Structure 1
Amino acid sequence: MTILAYDLGASSGRALLGRLNNGKIEVEELHRFSNDPVQVGDRLHWDILRLLHELKQALLLVRHRDITLDSLAIDSWAVDFGLIGSNGELLGNPYHYRDHHTDGVMKQVVEELTATGIFAKTGIQFLPFNTIYQLAALKKADSPLLRDAKHFLMIPDLLRYFLTGEKYNEFSNATTTQLYNPVAGSWDEELIRSIGISPELFGEVVQPGAKVGSLRASLCEELGIESVPVYAAAEHDTGSAVAAVPALEKSFAYLSCGTWSLMGTEVDEPVINELSQQLNFTNEGGVYGTYRLLKNIMGLWILQECRRSWERAGISYTFPELVKLAEEAKPFAAFIDPDDPLFLHPGDMPARITEYCLRTRQTAPTDTGAIVRCILESLALKYRNVLELTEQLSGQAFSGLHMVGGGIQNTLLCQWTANAIGKPVWAGPVEGSAIGNMIVQWIASGQLADIWEARKVIRESFPVDVYEPEQNDAWESAYRAFKETTGIA
């Protein structure tokens, strides 16, 4: 079988071919493209039609290479969505989760509905860009989009609709909205109505592995291709990444590392209690009856945005160059809390790091290497903090940490993470989300028996780099200083 996995991240997308050959997974990159948000006036949008164009380019490459596809699936980032009108057309370009239209809305909604009330229904971490607050912002602004909308589709749902003409909401992504009730196993209509939205917008929720249509006839005619089945993967890319963690035992901790860092563990039931609310953890849907008990961490976004700031000033660095400069800089000179709201929106990130350091009475890093070192050390130390909270909340003790995703190509971050947590880091595979997307397709078609066979095959198919902790005393002291400086409990 040859299958196609579309894996869309917040900064780039890729289309990868997957094949199962003698019990090993073979992955081939077919097409890679940038995912560039577009500022229009005061609003920041996703260029959704450009993304559709890139999906079509991948299908054309399949045709040109005379490849026979057996199926395809899509995964992407969470929380964002498009609205479909009564004529079946998209109403406006989807907003980017970093857009300012949600500023202050979470506070208003929480004051009206209470944090305890919202969390008890959804078990989802409070983040200002969650779908619930995006929809509440549209309602408060009396947006014409809501007046005309008939269907709510999240980003992979929307792109899948463009390809197939079928409208479904996929489970793992639906749970990220803070509008889905995992205990009831359905959209929470009371919560949806409480923000002034019609529950009729929200359609059937399907599980990862469900067949959700085939390429529509008009698309096949346009591209000169044959129709193929389309499956729902775990369409939140973190859900797919966790599916691809090559763990061989049920109790494991993971870190999906990229623009965002998402750390947690896999559980059979959502953990919705006073402590998980207090720690602001989230319970997102996973594959095959599991949930992902995790915490969102700002991740490499801060470094990516610094790099863009330097490029705007006419100074270009590759990521390997930045890592080398960081390695040469003085250790533990300054710390930031990566999750401080100061770092959420696009902008002059080096200046914001300076602002944070001055606010916390630290000497701000000034040269490039020192800034990058501050970011990477702070991330590694934040990972330790969240890993400890994950152990506390789940009642488990983890012997190490599985890291997957593009961020593991930063070997310095992997090593510093091992140093910070004082435990081994097992890094791989890099294309975790795409591989997780693929195994769901193979399980759905009967090529793999279940998730545990799939994880065993992943372990045998891709290298896992092991990072053992070093410099324990220095990192212990740094962790104490990090917590004191940032005020993190």
Structure 2
Amino acid sequence: MTVNRTYLSVDLGASSGRVVAGHLDDGRMVTEVIHRFDNVPVAVREGGREVLHWNVLRLYEGILTGVRLAARRRNVVSLGIDTWAVDYGLLDADGALLGNPVHYRDSRTDGVAAEVFTHLPAEMLYERTGLQYQPFNTIFQLAAAAGSAQLATARRLLLLPDLLGYWLTGVAVAEATNASTTGLLDVAARGWSAEILLALRGALGMDLGPLLPPVVEPGTQIGTVDVAGLPEVPLVAVGSHDTASAVVGVPGDGDFAYISCGTWSLVGIELAEPVLSEASRDGNFTNELGVDGSVRYLRNVMGLWLLQECVREWAEAGEEIDLAELLAQSEEVTALRCVVDVDDSAFLAPGGMPERLAQAAAEAGEPVPRTRAEMVRAILDSLALAYRRALRAASDLAEREISVIHLVGGGSRNELLCRLTAEATGLPVIAGPVESTALGNLLVQARSLGDLGEGVDLTGLHRLALASAHQELTRYEPRGGRADWDAAEARLR
């Protein structure tokens, strides 16, 4: 049986990828995961050290497999791609990729930001880009690559979703939501900043302007898929930064905040205009572009990366790990016994996470977790505390009330984390959908093809997300006082 008019979402996360099919049925988007595949980075020795790369050809193979599987039994009418942000590939004059893209967790950007800030003051960069400082932002990755043979040879720079789209269609563009994470985009003009590009050329000798493709907005039909064995359908520019698609897939209305929780947690609110104040920069908030001219005002929080790394290390050491059982055991641990700053850069790199968490606790004067359950509880308590801090700051800086939190993505399955977030913030938490990113991706495609009717704006997309996901949503009400959370926050200060 063939399902009519199927849209395909390619959603790549930091640890896995998936191809998700969607079709409209009675005013809702019905989704099905067609194919999942791992995303495993590879370290390669270059110039005397190991450099961490994305295995982008393996990811592309996973995409092709998923699209072919879907096309065998569905009437595929469009395709959209979203991935994580900041990382890029370089193409030569023939359009060939100049090496696998470097992973944002690679150490090549260590200390680079300080050098860039001597030429482009942090205040000026924030005024133009509205971008949260992260040591791996694209601008710092490019500064780290200044003078390299690869960058000198390059004739085109494409962010990851745009690179994959180029391989599918032959058309090179920069989708706006992902481009806004580079540190090269003027957030108000929603286009490349001539001022920043000129300053980089003068200070670091990098003439990046000719490398950058035209910026397109979500909903643009980029080109037609032109790969043997794949359906010849339009590739639609969705919110190609996965968080941008995840926010479209939030089933909310009114004064809601969102937490898109996976390897990273993106914690923020949806605005019509950027917040570019010095207080906002000092709070390390980012103004990333969203769908329909919106701004995703948020802060990156380290997310479930800490838990994922601990579980991986325990498993590699030969220990039997049942995550559900481990979470149940952690519920019995004394609440807020140990909290750490999950956003400490000490937690950014892979490897040795349990030891680094124990060291951070000791240095902060916190009780050091001795068991796996204590370690997990420390991570989840600390995450909920980080969410509380981020949401309070976002509300204050944007002068926006928050009445409910929507926690979407893989973390919405973690009942303890959802409950702790409600307790920490004093706000109800609505968990789900798990596949919010794919849902937002699919809804933008359907609207681009005219299948949602006339006049469906961003609020309408949120309502469609609610209609599509209402059966999998769980509501967590805050309970108990916040005095213990106040005390834990004071300890962290």
Answer yes or no: is the 8 Å Cα contact 1:241–1:433 preserved in 2.
yes
Answer yes or no: is the 8 Å Cα contact 1:81–1:155 preserved in 2.
yes
Corresponding residue number in structure 1 for 2:212: 202
Corresponding residue number in structure 1 for 2:283: 279
Matched residue pairs, number?
A: 475
Corresponding residue number in structure 1 for 2:474: 465
Measure, in 2, the Cα distance between the counterparts of 1:384 and 1:73.
Answer: 33
Answer yes or no: is the 8 Å Cα contact 1:443–1:450 preserved in 2.
no
Instruction: State the shift of 1:471 in Å.
Output: 2.5
- Report SS of the residue matched to 1:176: coil
Measure, in 1, the Cα distance between the counterparts of 2:424 and 2:266.
Answer: 17
Answer yes or no: is the 8 Å Cα contact 2:440–2:465 preserved in 1.
no
CA RMSD of aligned residues (A): 1.2
Measure, in 1, the Cα distance between the counterparts of 2:178 and 2:366.
Answer: 39
Corresponding residue number in structure 2 for 1:52: 60
Instruction: State the shift of 1:454 in Å.
Output: 2.3
Answer yes or no: is the 8 Å Cα contact 1:14–1:31 preserved in 2.
yes
Answer yes or no: is the 8 Å Cα contact 1:82–1:91 preserved in 2.
yes
Match 1:177 to one of 154, 167, 182:
182
Corresponding residue number in structure 1 for 2:483: 477
- Report SS of the residue matched to 1:233: coil
Answer yes or no: is the 8 Å Cα contact 1:378–1:482 preserved in 2.
no
Q: Which moved more, 1:448-457 or 1:460-469?
A: 448-457
Matched, 1:138 2:148: no
Corresponding residue number in structure 2 for 1:115: 122
Answer yes or no: is the 8 Å Cα contact 2:85–2:178 preserved in 1.
yes
- Report SS of the residue matched to 1:68: strand
Corresponding residue number in structure 2 for 1:235: 240
Which consecutive residues of structure 1, in runs of 5 or more, have no partner in the other structure? none
Measure, in 1, the Cα distance between the counterparts of 2:388 and 2:60.
Answer: 39
Measure, in 2, the Cα distance between the counterparts of 1:121 and 1:114.
Answer: 11
Measure, in 2, the Cα distance between the counterparts of 1:356 and 1:204.
Answer: 44
Measure, in 2, the Cα distance between the counterparts of 1:333 and 1:454.
Answer: 41
Instruction: State the shift of 1:200 in Å.
Output: 0.9
Measure, in 2, the Cα distance between the counterparts of 1:252 and 1:390.
Answer: 12
Matched, 1:166 2:171: yes
Q: Which moved more, 1:426-435 or 1:448-457?
A: 448-457
Measure, in 1, the Cα distance between the counterparts of 2:55 and 2:322.
Answer: 25
Answer yes or no: is the 8 Å Cα contact 1:423–1:468 preserved in 2.
yes
Matched, 1:248 2:257: no
Measure, in 2, the Cα distance between the counterparts of 1:210 and 1:69.
Answer: 18
Match 1:70 to one of 74, 77, 95:
77
Q: Which runs of 4+ in 1 moved over 3 A?
A: none
Measure, in 2, the Cα distance between the counterparts of 1:138 and 1:310.
Answer: 35
1:249-268 equivalent positions in 2, closer than 5 A: 249=254, 251-268=255-272
Measure, in 2, the Cα distance between the counterparts of 1:482 and 1:131.
Answer: 35
Corresponding residue number in structure 2 for 1:269: 273
Matched, 1:94 2:101: yes
Answer yes or no: is the 8 Å Cα contact 2:119–2:199 preserved in 1.
no
Matched, 1:344 2:351: no
Measure, in 2, the Cα distance between the counterparts of 1:16 and 1:184.
Answer: 33
- Report SS of the residue matched to 1:74: strand
Measure, in 2, the Cα distance between the counterparts of 1:276 and 1:49.
Answer: 39
Q: Deviations over 1:336-357 (max 9, x none)?
A: 1110011011011110011101
Measure, in 2, the Cα distance between the counterparts of 1:179 and 1:385.
Answer: 28
Corresponding residue number in structure 2 for 1:40: 44
- Report SS of the residue matched to 2:145: helix
Q: Deviations over 1:365-389 (max 9, x none)?
A: 0100000000000101111111100
Measure, in 1, the Cα distance between the counterparts of 2:430 and 2:39.
Answer: 29
- Report SS of the residue matched to 1:27: strand
Matched, 1:427 2:431: yes
Q: Deviations over 1:255-303 (max 9, x none)?
A: 1111100111111111111111111100000000100111000000010
Instruction: State the shift of 1:227 in Å.
Output: 0.8
Q: Deviations over 1:92-136 (max 9, x none)?
A: 100000000001111221233211111111110000000000000
Match 2:223 to one of 213, 220, 226:
213
Matched, 1:370 2:374: yes
1:341-420 equivalent positions in 2, closer than 5 A: 341-420=345-424
- Report SS of the residue matched to 1:44: strand
Measure, in 1, the Cα distance between the counterparts of 2:389 and 2:419.
Answer: 16
- Report SS of the residue matched to 2:291: coil
Measure, in 2, the Cα distance between the counterparts of 1:457 and 1:183.
Answer: 28
Which consecutive residues of structure 2, in runs of 5 or more, have no partner in the other structure? none
TM-score using structure 1 length: 0.95
Q: Which moved more, 1:441-450 or 1:10-19?
A: 441-450
Measure, in 2, the Cα distance between the counterparts of 1:157 and 1:301.
Answer: 25
Q: Which amino acid is the alignment partner of residue 187 of structure 1?
A: W
Q: Which amino acid is the alignment partner of residue 213 of structure 1?
A: G
